[in-house]
Amino acid sequence: MKGHAPSLLDKLLQPDTSGKEGLSLRHSVEQVKDSVARDIEMLLNSHASFQPEDLAGTPNAARSLLTLGLIDISSMSLASVHDRRRIVEAIRTSLMNHDKRLTQVEVGVRDAQGPSAKLTFSIRAKLILRPQSEPVIFDAVLQPGSKRYEVSKAENRNMPTP
């Protein structure tokens, strides 16, 4: 059977249009990448109740839903190299801990071109698709006013600096 099994969320959100009971939907690689981009966007726009270091004595809790999401960046300066590095590391750690479909996650940041003050975080990783893996790149654009991320698939290019 060709294709890849959709995620649980995709199964719940997409009604079965096959008209045949018992047949499972299969997704193309591009549909899986779209699904991962949507899930990354939801993850980056969630805020963790605890930071992993707050739960250092309980390693399982430090990798649980208690730490799902990112650190609060509202008090950070997007112009600060130090704060940008903290955001980059928070994105990388959050993806490594909470999206097991991705491995070898690298995150970099680049300034927006033009008059806007948006930052773009590039996420490069390997997407695990049994039995192989697929290299993927996503752009997570941080909207300065709302501090919300918009995530989309990106073209193949060199990784920006952290």
pLDDT top residue among 152 and 114: 152
What 105-114 contacts at long range (C-beta under 8 Å, 24+ apart), as own/partner pairs, is 106/159, 107/162, 108/159, 108/160, 108/161, 108/162, 109/84, 109/160, 109/161, 109/162, 110/160, 110/161, 112/141
pLDDT of residue 22: 46
pLDDT tens for each residue of 122-161: 999 999 987 888 999 999 998 877 889 999 998 765 555 5
Tell me, what DSSP letter sits at residue 26? -
The pLDDT value recorded for residue 16 is 56
Please say if the pLDDT value at position 63 is more than 50: yes
Average per-residue pLDDT in the chain? 80
Residue 125, pLDDT score: 96
**Residues 62-89, mean pLDDT to the nearest whole number:** 86
Rounded to an integer, the average pLDDT of 28-50 is: 90
Q: 138 and 159 in contact (C-beta within 8 Å)?
A: no
* Per-residue model confidence as pLDDT tens digits over 98-112: 999 999 999 999 866
In 3D, which of 56, 54, 79 has the Cα closest to residue 71? 54
- Verdict on whether the full-model pTM lies above 0.85: no
Average pLDDT over residues 23-28: 62
Cα 156 to chain centroid, rounded = 17
Task: Tell me the pLDDT band of 59, cut-offs 50, 70 and 90.
Answer: confident
What average pLDDT does the segment 85-96 reach? 92
- pLDDT reading at 66 higher than 50: yes
SS3 label, residue 102: strand
The domains found in the chain, sorted by start residue, are 8-12+24-153 (3.10.450)
